[in-house]
A and B are shown apart, each in its own frame.
Chain A
């Protein structure tokens, strides 16, 4: 792979590296036909990040042997992972990058076994970094953000304004939504702690969101530190952020996207909550996309449901089939009986199965339409229902380190639609 980033995009790239560095310890480097993907997953596997920098971001983008095809399938390009510290060495100072870098050449050569970053700077200065790396398989999180019932879209500034009110030492934050209110509040897991620490809550009017679709009233609790990392990235990208979620124990997906330019998906595990998960089961049939932007206190979800009933039904079926197929439990930790099924991972690391994949649905989502096109959905369903699909054969089982926080669900790593061309 050989590509050249022009000066205007180097900072965005550098900022992405800084963001990845705040989440994981290694950055996965995957040259794809439509662009370069950088990914990471954190140690406890509760957060996964994928940046896709598309061809148009580069002056030159030659993705290498992917052009060669065998039996019509593109041959896998060489993929590698690099320690976060190593990458930061190249992109250490954002201010000096912004000030002096004129272009950045990235060269990944499988035969030479080298990964070289060359920054061409002002005054004729050249900085060349030959980095140590490890060859590796692709990692992918499987998720179906467009199938999730709750979608929020806002300027990143709104979330930054919220986050700034919370204590820097706070670990987790809960996002609570109803069709007429959005609350974010500090989360403490024990009562002892709760009686000693300050609790903070902030409530927002849905009108502050550019897009506000709540299919299910729910609370999701996730890592505040990860959210801060995401927002730090958004600060430079300066484009809106989208949230997709369903309920506690199910992943929460943040997406930052500039069409045909770059896309970042952040998949965060949420804390499973028995109360909410049972509630979720009940609601699942009515979990259809539902535009509540103009709704004032309306709770009549049932009425709207009928129009998209079939989608809802399929959605729930899809979920079940995938659970069976993967032999992993859907996430109910905290002593949920299901987690014991996962003998090979142990009770302490329940996996959350995140069904389906977004990129396929990308087109459908770009216009901000809450409806899930049936057609797209069908694609997703095919995936799930036929485990012997080629893409699934390619899925690498990634070894799961024991989960550090029992309450966190784990992102299952399987083909991500970001890979698609």
Chain B
């Protein structure tokens, strides 16, 4: 058997023929699998994720305890090829397995793995083909029926306070949080302390203050003082996101619901977003509210 023939067979596994591609309800490829795996890291705090696909892109959602939800948005443009033959596709997948598959050839530069992802509707597996340096990996991951995801009804119209800052300063604050504290209290106010993270642990009380004048703060719009507590164990996973992000937008609505939006840049310089929603800790919710 001649070598070019074998090589051709290998290439085929990734690119497939036109006919084979058409078989799939969803079929997309990416020249660097890390552009997907990197952003999924930011929401990877539970193994089960729900994937929604529309013509605009892919949204991957992870939830915990009916109180926190993380969404990663990967726009269609992040893929080099993006074909969807239905209005929308939804399925559940094991995120641990997906991540292992995406990084099968290693997860660090300089390795660059080309990836194609195919799904053919309810009950079928997610098929992923990856190629690097002539070696080809085929993965077939079982999918499950999609779960109903939570709707936090968080709308921009109800946002009372909003701050946008460089992720760097929140990263330090999040990584230094006193883990013995049950809750993280976030205070946003038009006056001192402007933006404050507080913990109440067995070791004592800590406050981390970022003033509106700090050069880390890019946008500051606080209309009234709001102070809400969130379970630290629920917010802790968002440390994964802040570590990858360049900017963060913190918003609180009239019910004290929290939205943390992280802006994450991929290796191609494209921008993706990860959003965390968290509801306030009910027992303590109103203790410190000053309105």
A-side interface residues toward B, CB under 8 Å? 83, 85-86, 89, 92-93, 96, 100, 123-132
CB neighbours (8 Å) of A86 from chain B are: 203-204
For A86, the closest partner residue in chain B by CB is B203
CB neighbours (8 Å) of A100 from chain B are: 172
Most central of A100, A124, A128, A129 by chain B CB within 10 Å: A124
Q: Which B195-235 residues have C-beta < 8 A from chain A?
A: 201-211, 213-216
CB neighbours (8 Å) of B205 from chain A are: 129-130
CB of B63 within 8 Å of the partner chain: no
Between-chain CB contacts (< 8 Å), 25 pairs: A83-B203, A86-B203, A89-B178, A89-B201, A89-B203, A92-B176, A93-B176, A96-B172, A123-B169, A123-B215, A125-B169, A125-B208, A125-B209, A125-B211, A126-B208, A127-B176, A127-B206, A127-B207, A127-B208, A127-B209, A128-B206, A128-B208, A129-B206, A129-B207, A132-B204
CB neighbours (8 Å) of B169 from chain A are: 123, 125
The answer for the CA separation of A363 and B208 in the assembled complex, in Å, is 44
CB neighbours (8 Å) of B178 from chain A are: 89
Contacts beyond the supplied A89-B204, A124-B210, A131-B204: 18 A-B pairs with Cβ under 8 Å: A86-B204, A123-B210, A123-B214, A124-B211, A124-B214, A124-B215, A125-B169, A125-B211, A126-B207, A126-B209, A126-B211, A127-B206, A127-B207, A127-B208, A128-B206, A128-B209, A129-B204, A132-B204
Q: How near does chain A come to B222, taking the closest CB pair, in angstroms?
A: 16
The answer for the CA separation of A323 and B241 in the assembled complex, in Å, is 62
| Contact for B206 among A83, A125, A130, CB less than 8 A | A130
Ordered nearest first, which 5 A-B pairs have the shortest CB separation? A86-B203, A131-B204, A124-B214, A130-B205, A128-B207
Q: How many pairs of residues, A versus B, come closer than 8 Å at their CB atoms? A: 58
CB neighbours (8 Å) of B175 from chain A are: 93
The answer for the CA separation of A187 and B217 in the assembled complex, in Å, is 57
The answer for the CA separation of A126 and B198 in the assembled complex, in Å, is 12
- Given that A89-B178, A93-B176, A96-B172 are known contacts, is A125 also in contact with B210, CB under 8 Å in the complex? yes
- Given that A123-B169, A125-B169, A125-B214 are known contacts, is A89 also in contact with B206, CB under 8 Å in the complex? yes
**Contact between chains at B216 and A125 (CB < 8 Å):** yes
CB neighbours (8 Å) of A92 from chain B are: 176
For A115, the closest partner residue in chain B by CB is B204
Size category of the binding interface on chain B: 20 to 34
The answer for the CA separation of A235 and B180 in the assembled complex, in Å, is 31
Q: How near does chain A come to B203, taking the closest CB pair, in angstroms?
A: 4
**Contact between chains at B213 and A124 (CB < 8 Å):** yes
Q: How near does chain A come to B148, taking the closest CB pair, in angstroms?
A: 40
CB neighbours (8 Å) of B207 from chain A are: 126-129
Q: Which B153-171 residues have C-beta < 8 A from chain A?
A: 169
The answer for the CA separation of A123 and B201 in the assembled complex, in Å, is 26
Q: How near does chain A come to B59, taking the closest CB pair, in angstroms?
A: 33
For A118, the closest partner residue in chain B by CB is B207
The answer for the CA separation of A346 and B8 in the assembled complex, in Å, is 83
CB neighbours (8 Å) of B210 from chain A are: 123-125
The answer for the CA separation of A96 and B178 in the assembled complex, in Å, is 16
For A99, the closest partner residue in chain B by CB is B172
The answer for the CA separation of A260 and B209 in the assembled complex, in Å, is 35
Q: How near does chain A come to B219, taking the closest CB pair, in angstroms?
A: 15
Q: How near does chain A come to B202, taking the closest CB pair, in angstroms?
A: 7
The answer for the CA separation of A128 and B208 in the assembled complex, in Å, is 6
Most central of B176, B178, B204, B208 by chain A CB within 10 Å: B204
For A87, the closest partner residue in chain B by CB is B203
CB neighbours (8 Å) of A83 from chain B are: 203
The answer for the CA separation of A124 and B215 in the assembled complex, in Å, is 8
**Contact between chains at B204 and A130 (CB < 8 Å):** yes
Q: How near does chain B come to A114, taking the closest CB pair, in angstroms?
A: 9
The answer for the CA separation of A263 and B133 in the assembled complex, in Å, is 59
The answer for the CA separation of A132 and B200 in the assembled complex, in Å, is 11
The answer for the CA separation of A100 and B216 in the assembled complex, in Å, is 13
For A129, the closest partner residue in chain B by CB is B206
The answer for the CA separation of A122 and B201 in the assembled complex, in Å, is 25
CB neighbours (8 Å) of B211 from chain A are: 124-126
The answer for the CA separation of A89 and B177 in the assembled complex, in Å, is 8
CB neighbours (8 Å) of B204 from chain A are: 86, 89, 129-132
The answer for the CA separation of A85 and B206 in the assembled complex, in Å, is 14
CB neighbours (8 Å) of B216 from chain A are: 123, 125
The answer for the CA separation of A127 and B202 in the assembled complex, in Å, is 17
Please, what's the 1-or-0 string for B57-99, where 1 marks a CB less than 8 Å from any CB in chain A? 0000000000000000000000000000000000000000000
The answer for the CA separation of A92 and B204 in the assembled complex, in Å, is 15
